[in-house]
Structure 1
Amino acid sequence: MCRWAELGPAICVATQGVDDVLLLADGQLSGVATLPTRVVDTVGAGDSFMAGLISSLLEHTCLAYS
């Protein structure tokens, strides 16, 4: 993940299944707890995660867009 950060994004995020989500921002690596969930089907899980992340970043005005 640190290598991705070297390419220039403001944040890097990595999911780890049932474990914490990893967040790298401003050179600080943090683990963000996930909510307990009963997994039935993982198809689309990554897309759903990204949609929620982008929606939350927009809601909290963390993204610049035009």
Structure 2
Amino acid sequence: MRFVNDRDPLPLIEQLRRRYQDQRQIAYVERAGDAVVIDFTVHPAAATQGCGGANGTGCGCSGG
């Protein structure tokens, strides 16, 4: 998924890192003053192991 915004969403990124730990990769594509582009990807191991919330409790969706 690609995220495009006019400012850096640092609180959102920190929340995603805490919730999903190593299951998501966050990569800045562009980080200029008025343009921030971030790619979010799911690690293949996470996709085969189902969902995962904080502390291994799961996210509660029907996919896991």
Q: TM-score, normalised on structure 2?
A: 0.24
The one of the two structures with greater contact order (alpha-carbon pairs below 8 A, sep at least 6) is: 2
